Structure 1
């Protein structure tokens, strides 16, 4: 029997998790959450395409750990399996995260078509993305979703993501339309 993955080994004890929040879950906030007992923290979302292109240094710093940080998950967003697979490998090498998370919850218009909540409209694409990410790393891969785009499809989507290899699914309890 193999050792449990990152998420399974932490979920055996009660506790809170610092969710990814654009503009808030930077290294100082993650450090504060860890000091207060967070089971793990999640970086702000990072563009898979930006990571592959070298990207804006300031944006890439969102995934960098603070000194001694270990329980950090790096969250990526994107909509192309080859780009996400490459970004997972690059994130693993550059940021040394404990796990990788796919953002399927961001409803912001500038993210639409590039990943985020729009993936809830085509969950089969999301399943392909998670599968490609899973094949690109030895780390646990998770996904953050909303209940659905405009109605609740969370159970169906979560089951598909699990079948694609997601080790954990986090559900934001509203639809994208809400």
Structure 2
């Protein structure tokens, strides 16, 4: 009986070690669920998915440091754009308008293409941050030589139009990366 108790104790200890050693580093959050090469999100509850051919992440080097620029559009003429100043790899970056310098920017745009007269197509843009508010963030969870993976959420305002607010939730991306 004593031998059986020792074996059970050994099995329970090994199981405990196996389960607790599988933790994940949450520094940049989870990677989200975007298919490779795309950006996905919910815009006021409506699903959005970009096309791989028109979605990318670019890291630029400039005198004040690195910047991350993400651009992703879909076939409906809707697009996301992010600019992160002072980009430093995995981590979370806020869209906070109360900061006086180096404000990170996110935008969402919708283009209504007039097929009969393309010159008269209309584009509306919602921007974050606005009114000196902290309205969301973007988290980079993984960066390699060829890709960037992360998540985001934010509220954005149609500053040049009707002043409406769009709520962007469940955003994630898995994009090819280039460095300039």
Q: Normalising by structure 2, report the TM-score.
A: 0.25
Structure that is richer in strand per residue: 2
**Structure index of larger Rg:** 2
Structure that is richer in helix per residue: 1
More relative contact order, 1 or 2 (CA 8 Å, 6+ apart): 2
